[in-house]
Structure formats: structure tokens, C-alpha cells
């Protein structure tokens, strides 16, 4: 599969797909209306701390996405006797996703899906020939089976038992209750004939309606009324599918049938769009480019009367329903201004829903226009048990005109409820950020309704399930009763301890909502009190930390949260203040003001002052020398308060550096330990008044000497230090033996003192250096 998608904000979406080269090539191009650059955008800001954004809206009870791995377009949804739903449309897909059977031919097939009352799939069937088969209508029959109606250009193949009559024909398929085929029938002339409607009749048969280009021939007994374009073509068939009669109705131009319904007198009302002038079966002049056109016929197809309704431009009829008073309600889309039969202008030189209420004799009672400031296309009408009117279609208008909710980028489903006089009670926009095209609507036994169409989107906004391929069937079950928006929002926590780990859940949200069955989603939103939204994250109803709080850095956080009841877009916003609790934190380092001392110091001399790095300010600390890594020389030091003191007098020549381990403890008994290096400074030492000490075992020879001096002792000599007559050290020779050899060749003539260090005692020997 090659799939290419171009997405230009709200300007245009183009989807191109090649379907399995070995089975043929299918190129699907869906060019959406281009948004004018001058079209205004609406921005609404909510600045109060706690506010319900929408007071009332209809509750979405469930939605279902049903599709193959290719493209599937829903045309019809009807109730079944068991309280479920039968879906019918067209599929390009092979087995995959929700589709259990491969495609029959190279192109589209009928695809029907049976759902239970909760929207769960029960079974599906693929019906088709090797050509293109486009389903428009599916209904359950009295025997529990199903009747399918659509258009086919397939010859005898697959499930199709008869060859095509022309370029396209009506194709009717009768199924048993389990979805197996009972019979099929093909009806057509020698040109293109497109079925749009099918209705059961009182005698157990069916009446079929659509538009035909064909002249007399094949199954068509009458010529077209015009020299070009289509006419209404009606066929009455028996319960077994055999034809009883057919009728053609039209003017001198194109006439396209959209609706057909039985009337109480046994006849039928035909409704559609006419581009014809007064001619043929059309008895009234055109008001504009196209008009609504109704034709009333009796039980055998004889015309009784016709009526045209229109304004000065394009008016296209989509649906006709009977009304409780014996009249009819017509619904479609209009781009006409106030003119002809239209009493209201279009909302912004665009296409709007246009409703026309007729009396039983076909005379006009009233008309109403509903729309936003862009394109609104009416698809379906229904009359509720209370005599109200449910109006459904799709729209890409923003929240303007009669539309109270935004459309997100592309087309969304748009439904309105009107009273018996055509006044709006409420309207509802349902969709995603992609293209959602409504094609069908039906009332349900529980007083609600189902909207059906096709969607390109994954799970987002009102859609809870991902796409299975490209376009999928998307049906939505709604209640007629309004949804009540949430009235309050609570967070389970108001204070969090500092240093709480990043990613931790710190609290949960709950919503106060009069609709007890509602579920809610939560999001951080912009508005008053949103200063610190970036430090937090919401998962489901849980508030999580995006960064760890530090009391010494920030003591309070402000966030703004919205709860959405999801089913009805009822929302409530509230700002929250979250305090940070200060915790005692361990010291982080030990500072020593000085880390060196001169040799020959006094015991108890202060080396340096101790201080601690601690985020808790103010805090007090105690210090001590502790056992641990680096404690080798702890015994040579003491700690008094915050002073590090020398416990011994240091001699650089004996040892020049010492390692100690210190501990600091704060008021909360939290500690920190570190190792420190203390260095001993070497001083120029003057030996004055040290008497020469005789020791029988201590010898220094030759003396006088000129080049070397040999010193021996009965004890180990640690080192020998040679001092000149001024008291300055001129030579130090480390040793660890009873004999030490000194090189004195570099010394000038004179008298020197050799200090011999052995067993913590120092011996002095006078040495004469003579260079003569």
C-alpha cells in the first residue's frame, strides 16, 4: 500500500491510496473545501477560578469505529428487532480489522455489519461482484432477514446473479437473518441508473427509487423526460424481488431523487433536487439554479401533484419525513439568500441547512435556515415521539451563526433539535480534528438516537477508538436528554513535601457532577492561576510531578485544571494552590577555613574553622572526627566546637601531610562526612645551644672530613640533619638503618652540627669540614 497524506492546517487534506496492484489500482482523492483566508477564527478565554464552560449538551453514551485496513464508507444505520443495529455501506478492504471476508472483486463491495444494543459487533458480510458495488440502504425485513439496495456495474459474478443492463444498475440483495444470501435482482436501463432509496411496502414488497440517465430499454419502460441529465426512476417490486411496475418523472434537465416515503393513502412522496425548468412532470418554474422538488404519486405510480421550493441560487434536498399533523418536513442544503420560497438569508454567503414545513396538501407552512459562517450540509431528518424535529448533517463552520460549538479544523457531525415550529432547542457538534462526514441518523427505542458516517481519525476528542485503516464506519449513540456540566472540581492534596521524586503521583482529582454515570477527563489549561502548569502532568485523574519541588527554591505552586465529562463536552475549570512542605535536609558539604599548619606548632593550636553547606538556613551543626575512609591521622587532631585543633606538634621533616575524616550533624541529627587533607608547612629551622652528646655507641667519622661522613649507632637512625654555624639546615638525609653515609663534598670548609634522630631522641655531633 502506498499512502500519501498532505495536511495543510484547515486548508486542505488530500489522501491518495493505491490498492493492491495485482488486483487493480484504486486512486482515492479526497479534496476538502479550501478555507478562505479571510475566514475569522474564534478564541474564547475563561479567566474565572471555577466555571462551567457549557451548561447543557447531549450525552454520548458510546461510539464505535468499525473498519477494514483500507477505506470503508457508511451509508445506512437501522434498528433491528433485538435492539441492535444493522450497518450498511461500501468497503474496499480485504479481510482485516473488523472485516472477516476478502473483497469479491477489484473495487467496492457492499459491507454490512450487525451490532448488538451496546455497539458490539456480532457478524459482518461482504456482498459484491467483480466490479463496483455501492450500497446506499439496508433494512431489516419482517422475516428477520435484511434487504440491501444500491448501485452496481458488476456483471454476473460473486454474489451477483445477473449481468449489468448498462453502465450502472439498481442492485437489490435479500439476505436471511444469518446474513446468507436468499436472492438478488438487477434493474436497469442501457445507461447509468443510481439507486438512493428503498422502502418496504404494506404488501410485503419494496419500492425502489433513484436517478436514471437511461431511456426506454432493459427494465425501464419510459423514456427520460429531458434530452440530458437524470430523472427520478421508481420501481415497485414484490416480496420475491420480481418487478411490478416502474415510473419515470422529470423535467428538461437533471432531476436527482434523494428521498421516498409511503403516505397514509397508500401512495408515495418522492423528494429530490431539480435543475429543470417548467417542463415534463415539473409544473412550476425554477426559482434558481436548483430547487427542492416533490412529486406525489398514488399506489400504482400515477402522479397526483408536484411542488417546487427554492431561492435564487442552489437548494438541494436530502431528506423528507412525515409530520404528526399529516404534512411533511423537507430538509436539505441551501446557498440562496432570502428569495422565492426562502424567507431568510444564508448566514454568510455559504451553504446552510434549509428546512421547509409543508401542510398535508403540499402547501408551505414555514421555512427555517440554520448554519454557521461556512459550509453546513444537511443529510437526515427524524421526528421524535414528542413531535420535535431532529436534524443532522456535517459542518465545518466555527461557533457562529446558529452553531454553538467549534468545529475542530475539518468537517464534524452537526445535529440540532427543533420544536414543532422549527425553533432551535439545542445543537451539538461531534467530531475530531480530521474529516468526519455524517451520512445517516436513526432514532432509538430508548428515546435517544444514533449518528452514523465515516471518519479518518484515530482516537481523539469525541472518538474513543483508533482508525482501522483509512476511512472507517463511525457510529455514535446519544441520549436526547441534555447533559449537565460538572459543577465543581477537587484535588485530594493541598500540600506536598519538598524533594518528592519526579514522576510521583501526588494527588487525585474528583468531579462533582449531577450526571452520576458520567466519566471525566482532566487537563491542565491556560487561564488565571496557571503559573506553574509546566511543573505538573495529569495521567487519567492523577496529578504527577514533572520536577521535584524544593522548598528553598519555591514554596507554593499554582495550577489550573479543567474537568470534561467527555460524553457531552460539559466542562468546569478551577485554579489550585499547592503548598510545599519544608523538610529537614542533610548537610551537603563541610568547609574548613584553613587546611595547613606550620611545623613545630604548639599542641592545641587552631588549624581552621569548620562550616557546613546546608540548604536549611538557618541551621546549627556539631562536628567530630569519625572512623571511616581517610581517618588514618585522626589521632593527631581534635575538634573543639567548630575549631579543628592540632593534638601534636608537627615536624615537616617527619611527615608533611595528614588525612582526617570529619562529620557534621545538624539539629535534626542528619549527618554528612568527608575526608580532608591537612598539610604541614616546612620552616627554616635554626639549631642554637644544642649540646654535643657523647654516646659510646654513636660514631661519626672521618672527622674532620672533606667529601663524606659515615655515622653509625647501635639503634636505628631515622634521619640525619646537618646544620651550619648560623643554625640553618644544609642537609637532611632520611634513613632507616644503623649506618648512614652522608655526601658532604658540596659543603664549604667550616664547623657543622650533625643531628642524629633515633628512637625519638636527637643526638648532636660536631663535624669539621676541611677542603685543605
pLDDT of residue 481: 75
Q: What is the pLDDT of residue 148?
A: 98
Q: Which residues contact 536 (CB under 8 A, 6 or more apart)?
A: 524, 543, 544, 545, 546, 557, 559
Q: How far apart are the first and last CA of the chain?
A: 109
User: For residue 15, what pLDDT is reported?
Assistant: 32
Residue ranges of the chain with per-residue pLDDT less than 50: 1-49, 51-56, 686, 688
How many angstroms separate the CA atoms of 561 and 509, rounded?
9
Tell me which residue has cell 492561576: 529
Ramachandran assignment for 217, one of left (phi > 0), alpha (psi -120 to 50 degrees), beta (any other)? left
Q: Which helix (H) or strand (E) is 456 found in, with range? A: none
Q: Please name which of 103, 108, 111, 12 lies closest in space to residue 473, comparing C-alpha atoms.
A: 111
Cis peptide leading into residue 704 (ω within 30°)? yes
The cell numbers describing 406, all together, are 467549534
Q: Please, what's the b/e burial string for 132-169 (b: 16 or more CB within 10 A of its CB; e: otherwise)? A: bbbbbbbbbbeeebbbbbbbbbbeeebbbebebbbebb
Render 710-723 in DSSP notation, one character per residue: EEEEEEEEEEEEEE
List the domains of the chain with CATH numbers.
Answer: 1-36 (no CATH), 488-581 (2.60.40.60), 589-681 (2.60.40.60), 699-769 (2.60.40.3080)
Cβ atoms of residues 107 and 20 within 8 Å:
no
pTM: 0.63
Amino acid at each position: 500500500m502506498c499512502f500519501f497524506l498532505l495536511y495543510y492546517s484547515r486548508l486542505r487534506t488530500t489522501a491518495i491510496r493505491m490498492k493492491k496492484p495485482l488486483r487493480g489500482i484504486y486512486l482515492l482523492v479526497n479534496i476538502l473545501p479550501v478555507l478562505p483566508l479571510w475566514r475569522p477564527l474564534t478564541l474564547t478565554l475563561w479567566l474565572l477560578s471555577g466555571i462551567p464552560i457549557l451548561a447543557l449538551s447531549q450525552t454520548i453514551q458510546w461510539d464505535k469505529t468499525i473498519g477494514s485496513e483500507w477505506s470503508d464508507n457508511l451509508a445506512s444505520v437501522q434498528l433491528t428487532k433485538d435492539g441492535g443495529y444493522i450497518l450498511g455501506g461500501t468497503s474496499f478492504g480485504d479481510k482485516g480489522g473488523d472485516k472477516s471476508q476478502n473483497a469479491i472483486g477489484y473495487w467496492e463491495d457492499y459491507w454490512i455489519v450487525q451490532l448488538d444494543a451496546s455497539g458490539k459487533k456480532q457478524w459482518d458480510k461482504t456482498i459484491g461482484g467483480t466490479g463496483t458495488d455501492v450500497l446506499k440502504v439496508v433494512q431489516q425485513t419482517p422475516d428477520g432477514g435484511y434487504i440491501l439496495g444500491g448501485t452496481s456495474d458488476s456483471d454476473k459474478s460473486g454474489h451477483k446473479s445477473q449481468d449489468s443492463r448498462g453502465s450502472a444498475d439498481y442492485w437489490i440483495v435479500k439476505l436471511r437473518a444469518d446474513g446468507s444470501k436468499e436472492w438478488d435482482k438487477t434493474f436497469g436501463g442501457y445507461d447509468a441508473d443510481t439507486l438512493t432509496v428503498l422502502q418496504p411496502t404494506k404488501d410485503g414488497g419494496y419500492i425502489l427509487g433513484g436517478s436514471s440517465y437511461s431511456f426506454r430499454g432493459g427494465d425501464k419502460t419510459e423514456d427520460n423526460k429531458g434530452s440530458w441529465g437524470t430523472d427520478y426512476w421508481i420501481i415497485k417490486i414484490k416480496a420475491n424481488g420480481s418487478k411490478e411496475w416502474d415510473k419515470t418523472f422529470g423535467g428538461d434537465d437533471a432531476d436527482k431523487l434523494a428521498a421516498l416515503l409511503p403516505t397514509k393513502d397508500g401512495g408515495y412522496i418522492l423528494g429530490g433536487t431539480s435543475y429543470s425548468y417548467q417542463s415534463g412532470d415539473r409544473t412550476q418554474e425554477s426559482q434558481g439554479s436548483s430547487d427542492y422538488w416533490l412529486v406525489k404519486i398514488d399506489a400504482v405510480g400515477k402522479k397526483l401533484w408536484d411542488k417546487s421550493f427554492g431561492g435564487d441560487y442552489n437548494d438541494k434536498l436530502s431528506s423528507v419525513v412525515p409530520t404528526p399533523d399529516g404534512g411533511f418536513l423537507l430538509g436539505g442544503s441551501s446557498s440562496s439568500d432570502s428569495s422565492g420560497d426562502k424567507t431568510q438569508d444564508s448566514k454568510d454567503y455559504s451553504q446552510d441547512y434549509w428546512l421547509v414545513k409543508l401542510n398535508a396538501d403540499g402547501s408551505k407552512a414555514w421555512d427555517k435556515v440554520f448554519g454557521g459562517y461556512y459550509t453546513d450540509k444537511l443529510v437526515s431528518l427524524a421526528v421524535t415521539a414528542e413531535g420535535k424535529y431532529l436534524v443532522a448533517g456535517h459542518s465545518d463552520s466555527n461557533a457562529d451563526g446558529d452553531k454553538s460549538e467549534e468545529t475542530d479544523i475539518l468537517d464534524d457531525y452537526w445535529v440540532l433539535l427543533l420544536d414543532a415550529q422549527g425553533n432551535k432547542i439545542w445543537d451539538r457538534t461531534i467530531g475530531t480534528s480530521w474529516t468526519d462526514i455524517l451520512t445517516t441518523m436513526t432514532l432509538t427505542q430508548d428515546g435517544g438516537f444514533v449518528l452514523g458516517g465515516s471518519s479518518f481519525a484515530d482516537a481523539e476528542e469525541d472518538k474513543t477508538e483508533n482508525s482501522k485503516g483509512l476511512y472507517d464506519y463511525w457510529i455514535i449513540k446519544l441520549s436526547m436528554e441534555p447533559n449537565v456540566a460538572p459543577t465543581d472540581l477537587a484535588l485530594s492534596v493541598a500540600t506536598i513535601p519538598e524533594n518528592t521524586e519526579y514522576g510521583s503521583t501526588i494527588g487525585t482529582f474528583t468531579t462533582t457532577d449531577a450526571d452520576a454515570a458520567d466519566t471525566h477527563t482532566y487537563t491542565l489549561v491556560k487561564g488565571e492561576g496557571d503559573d506553574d502548569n509546566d511543573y505538573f502532568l495529569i495521567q487519567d485523574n492523577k496529578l504527577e510531578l514533572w520536577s521535584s519541588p524544593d522548598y528553598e527554591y519555591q514554596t507554593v505552586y499554582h495550577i489550573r485544571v479543567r474537568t470534561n465529562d467527555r460524553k457531552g463536552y460539559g466542562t468546569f475549570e478551577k485554579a489550585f494552590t499547592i503548598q510545599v512542605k519544608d523538610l529537614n535536609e542533610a548537610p551537603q558539604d563541610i568547609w574548613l577555613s584553613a587546611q595547613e599548619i606550620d611545623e613545630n606548632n604548639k599542641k592545641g593550636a587552631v588549624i581552621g574553622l569548620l562550616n557546613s553547606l546546608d540548604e536549611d538556613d538557618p541551621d546549627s551543626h556539631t562536628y567530630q572526627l569519625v572512623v571511616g575512609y581517610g581517618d588514618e591521622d585522626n589521632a593527631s587532631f581534635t575538634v573543639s566546637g567548630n575549631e579543628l585543633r592540632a593534638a601534636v606538634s608537627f615536624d615537616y621533616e617527619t611527615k608533611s601531610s595528614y588525612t582526617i575524616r570529619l562529620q557534621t550533624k545538624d539539629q535534626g541529627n542528619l549527618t554528612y562526612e568527608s575526608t580532608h587533607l591537612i598539610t604541614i608547612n616546612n620552616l627554616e629551622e635554626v639549631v642554637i645551644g644544642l649540646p654535643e652528646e657523647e654516646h659510646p655507641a654513636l660514631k661519626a667519622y672521618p672527622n674532620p672530613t672533606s667529601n663524606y661522613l659515615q655515622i653509625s649507632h647501635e639503634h636505628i637512625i631515622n634521619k640525619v640533619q646537618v646544620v651550619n654555624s648560623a643554625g640553618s639546615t644544609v642537609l637532611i638525609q632520611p634513613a632507616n638503618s644503623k649506618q648512614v653515609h652522608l655526601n658532604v663534598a658540596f659543603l664549604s670548609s667550616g664547623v657543622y652540627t650533625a643531628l642524629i634522630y633515633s628512637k625519638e631522641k636527637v643526638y648532636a655531633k660536631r663535624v669539621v669540614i676541611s677542603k685543605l
